């Protein structure tokens, strides 16, 4: 008998359903969901593009170099191994008054607002092109005409029903896929194992 046997909490075990629920309601919602889109904003809006030499470096350049290519920063960082997945922790650990964090948060809002504002014009152009294509169809193309009209109705509906939450979901998915392509699946697994 140990001291820990006295406490009921030390005897708890999690079944698979509880683990999944905890992951979805805590880990994914509070840690992963806010950080992945902000990573996308950081790498596109707050970092100097590769191959360019600006007069003043972008506000997140030092942080990104520290995690992706520490040798570029010189001593004492040149001995560190690159660990790009740690950028996700850095994004969550920055203070709100950090210039990099302010760039990320402001860029995130601008990105989401810009994507949301472009929905109606994008689907409007798509609808116009479908209408123009539909006008070229002959009476022999009744099946194609019905298909185009169905797509046209869907594009008109999408233009008015896509919400900001839908745009945030899309951007989350878009950045997640770009992270996989940048790191490659082997880099992703190696980074994950380095963190664990």
Residue 11 has pLDDT above 80, yes or no: no
Residue-level pLDDT at 2: 58
- pLDDT band at residue 5 using 50, 70 and 90 as cut-offs: low
Mean pLDDT of the chain: 86
What pLDDT score was predicted for residue 9? 61
- C-alpha to C-alpha distance for 33 and 27, rounded to whole angstroms: 8
CB 107 within 8 A of CB 46: yes
- 6: pLDDT confidence band, cut at 50, 70 and 90? low
Q: What is the pLDDT of residue 184?
A: 67
pLDDT for 7 equals: 61
Mean pLDDT of 157-163: 88
Torsion of CA 170, 175, 177, 178, to 10 degrees: 140
Would the pLDDT of 132 be above 70?
Answer: yes
Is the bond leading into 76 cis (omega within 30 degrees of zero)?
yes
Confidence of residue 22 (pLDDT cuts 50, 70, 90): confident
Distances (CA, A) of 113 to 34, 91, 110, 126, 187: 16, 21, 5, 20, 32
Axis-axis angle for helices 164-195, 33-45 (nearest 10): 90
pLDDT for the residue numbered 10: 57
Q: What is the pLDDT, as a whole number, of residue 196?
A: 66
**pLDDT average, residue stretch 153-176:** 91
User: What does the pLDDT read at residue 188?
Assistant: 67
For the stretch 63-114, pLDDT in tens is 988 888 888 888 888 888 888 888 999 999 999 999 999 999 999 999 999 9
Percent of the chain scoring above 90 in pLDDT? 36
pLDDT at 23 over 80: yes
pLDDT at residue number 37 = 95
């Amino acid at each position: 008998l140990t001291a820990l046997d006295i406490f009921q909490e030390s005897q708890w075990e999690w079944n698979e359903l509880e683990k999944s629920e905890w992951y979805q309601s805590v880990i994914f919602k509070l840690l992963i969901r806010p950080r992945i889109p902000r990573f996308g904003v950081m790498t596109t809006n707050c970092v100097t593009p590769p191959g360019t030499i600006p007069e003043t470096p972008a506000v997140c350049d030092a942080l990104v170099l520290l995690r992706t290519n520490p040798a570029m920063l010189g001593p004492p960082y040149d001995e560190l191994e690159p660990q790009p997945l740690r950028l996700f922790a850095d994004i969550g650990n920055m203070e709100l008054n950090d210039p990099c964090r302010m760039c990320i948060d402001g860029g995130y809002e601008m990105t989401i607002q810009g994507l949301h504002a472009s929905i109606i014009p994008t689907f409007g152009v798509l609808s116009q092109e479908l209408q123009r294509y539909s006008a070229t169809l002959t009476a022999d193309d009744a099946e194609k005409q019905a298909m185009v009209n169905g797509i046209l109705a869907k594009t008109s509906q999408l233009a008015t029903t896509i919400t900001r939450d839908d745009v945030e979901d899309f951007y989350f998915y878009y950045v997640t896929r770009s992270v996989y392509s940048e790191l490659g699946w082997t880099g992703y697994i190696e980074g994950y194992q380095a963190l664990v």
